[in-house]
Amino acid sequence: MSKLSIRDLDLKNKTVFMRVDFNVPLAPGGKEITSDKRIRASLPSIQYALDHGAALILASHLGRPKGKPNPEMSLKPVAVKLAELLGKPVAMAPDCVGPQVEAMKPKPGEVLLLENLRYHAEEEKNDPAFAKQLASLCDVYVNDAFGSAHRAHASTVGMIQFVKQAAAGLLMDTELEYLTKATKNPARPCVAILGGAKVSDKIEVIENLMKFVDRLLIGGAMAYTFYRAQGQPVGKSLVEEDKIELAKDLLARAGGKVLLPVDHVVASELKAGAEAETVETIPEGKMALDIGPKTVVLYSAEVAKAKTVIWNGPMGVFEMPPFDVGTVALAKAVASSGAVSVVGGGDSEKAIKSAGVASKISHISTGGGASLEFLSGIELPGVAALTEK
C-alpha cells in the first residue's frame, strides 16, 4: 500500500495535525484512565514529529458523547497522562475548533491536545465546514489512528481534501504493513484461525480469507452453525438458524480448506465452575463452550506447518475457565510456530495476553473493527484518503 508516511514529510517548523486513537477506557466519573495502551501506541509517531521540529496538534474522539460536550468523556485525563509519558507539558484545548483553539496554536516542539472531536455532531457526519475548520489549524496531516480508519469522519477523511499532504503515522504504517503482508502476498502455507460467536459477524471475512488462505480453522460458537449445516448434532450450542444455508454454501465453496472442531468441551450451562466434559458428539441438553484436546492437536499441527498465521476471535468462552484451554493452547502454538503472525484486536488480543505469549506474536492489531474490515477485503476510508507516494 503505497501511501505517504510521516517519514516522507518535511516536518521542521510545520504545524502537524495528528489524528490519534486516544479512545481510552475511563473509570466511572471520567477522571481516571484504566489502561494507557492506546496512548503508548502513538508515542513513536508523536516523538518522531517532535524530534523533527514539528509543532504538534493531537486530535481524538473518546466514547460516544452524541455530538455534545460530556465532562465524563473529556480528554483532559489523557493530556495529564501524555505529559507524564512524554516528560514534557501537553496543553489542553477547551474545544477542537474555534477562536480559543486557534489562539493556542503550538510552536515547534510543543504539543496541544484538542478536546473530544465527537463533542461536535459534525465530526461523525463528516461535515465539510467542520472538516475545513480542523484543517485550517495545520500545514500537514498525519493519521495514526488505525482503530478509526474504517470510519469516514471529518477528522479521518473530510479534512484531508483541505490539506497539502496527508500521511500515515508510524503505528498506521505498521498496521498496514503487516495486514497487507498477511493478506495480499502471504508466505505459504497461510493459515487463518477464526473464532467468536456469530457467523454473521464474520461472513465477509470468511469469504475474503477463502480466496487466499490454505487452511481456515474455525472455532468458537460460530463453528456450530457450520455443524448444523452438515446435519450434525449440536445440543444446546449457539446456532444462528438464519445462517445455516449460508454456512452450507460457504462449506461447499471452501473446497476442503475449512476445518471444524473434531471434539468439544461441553457443559449443561454457561457459568464459572460448571461441570465440563469432553465429547466427540454433542449430547442433547449440553452446549459446546470450547474446542477439545483432539481439535487442539489437529489445529496446532496446521499452525506448526504455517509460514503465515492470521487470527481473529477466540476458540471458546475463554474469559471463563475451564473454557479457556483451547484458546490458550492455540495461542501458544501460534507463538512457537515461527510464522509471521497477525492477530486482530479485541478478544483475540486478550486471549494472546492471557496465554502470556504477546511478545512472540509478530503483530497485534490496535483496531478490532478496522482489522476485521481489512481482513474482509474492504478498503478503509481513512487509509484510502491518504496521499499516494
pLDDT digits (tens, 9 = 90+) for 268-306: 999 888 899 999 999 999 999 999 999 999 999 999 999
Check if 369 is active-site.
yes
Is the model's pLDDT at 198 over the cut of 90? no
Catalytically annotated residue among 125, 198, 257, 307: 198
Q: How many helices (H) and strands (E) does the chain have?
A: 15, 15
**pLDDT tens per residue, range 336-369:** 999 999 998 667 788 888 888 989 999 998 887 8
Q: Specify the pLDDT at position 52.
A: 98
Check if 346 is active-site.
yes
Mean of pLDDT values over 42-53: 98
Tell me which amino acid residue 6 is.
I
Q: Specify the pLDDT at position 1.
A: 54
- Cα–chain center distance at 2: 21
Contact 339, 215 (CB under 8 A): no
User: Which of left, alpha, beta for 69 (phi over 0: left; psi -120 to 50: alpha)?
Assistant: beta
Check if 196 is active-site.
no
Q: State the CB neighbour count (10 A cutoff) for residue 180.
A: 13
Q: Specify the pLDDT at position 92.
A: 98
**pLDDT tens per residue, range 244-270:** 999 999 999 988 899 999 999 999 999
Q: Specify the DSSP class assigned to residue 206.
A: H
Catalytically annotated residue among 14, 38, 81, 243: 38
Is the model's pLDDT at 189 over the cut of 90? yes
Catalytically annotated residue among 345, 346, 367, 382: 346
**Prediction pTM value:** 0.88
Q: Where are any strands of DSSP class E within the chain?
A: 15-19, 55-59, 91-92, 111-113, 140-143, 166-168, 190-194, 215-218, 258-259, 264-267, 277-279, 287-291, 308-312, 340-343, 363-364
Q: How confident is the model at residue 375 (pLDDT cuts 50, 70, 90)?
A: confident
Mean of pLDDT values over 159-187: 94
Separation between Cα atoms, residue 158 and residue 148, nearest integer Å: 13
Distances in Å between the Cα of 101 and the Cα atoms of 42, 97, 104 are 22, 6, 5
Burial of 51 (0-12, 13-18, 19+ CB in 10 A): exposed
Q: Specify the DSSP class assigned to residue 279.
A: E
Examine residue 77 and say whether the peptide bond preceding it is cis (omega within 30 degrees of 0). Answer: no
The CB-based long-range contact list for 206-211 (8 Å cut-off, 24+ gap) reads 206/250, 207/250, 207/376, 208/183, 208/375, 208/376, 208/377, 209/310, 209/375, 210/250, 210/253, 210/254, 210/257, 210/258, 211/377
Q: State the CB neighbour count (10 A cutoff) for residue 256.
A: 7
Separation between Cα atoms, residue 259 and residue 56, nearest integer Å: 49
Q: Which helix (H) or strand (E) holds 86?
A: helix 76-86
Tell me which amino acid residue 255 is.
G
- Cell 495486514 -> residue: 179
Separation between Cα atoms, residue 215 and residue 352, nearest integer Å: 21
Percent of the chain with pLDDT over 90: 82
Q: Specify the pLDDT at position 345.
A: 65
Q: Is 155 helix (H, G, I), strand (E, B) or coil?
A: coil
Q: Specify the pLDDT at position 199.
A: 81
- Cell 473454557 -> residue: 323
Q: Specify the pLDDT at position 190.
A: 97
Check if 38 is active-site.
yes
Q: Please, what's the b/e burial string for 205-240 (b: 16 or more CB within 10 A of its CB; e: otherwise)?
A: bbbbbbebbbbbbbbbbbbbbbbbbeeeebbbbbbb
Q: Is 83 helix (H, G, I), strand (E, B) or coil?
A: helix
Separation between Cα atoms, residue 330 and residue 295, nearest integer Å: 10
Q: Specify the pLDDT at position 368.
A: 77
Mean of pLDDT values over 223-233: 94
Q: Please, what's the b/e burial string for 341-374 (b: 16 or more CB within 10 A of its CB; e: otherwise)?
A: bbbbbbbbbebbebbebeebbebbbbbbbbbbbb
Least confident of 110-114, 310-314, 318-322: 318-322
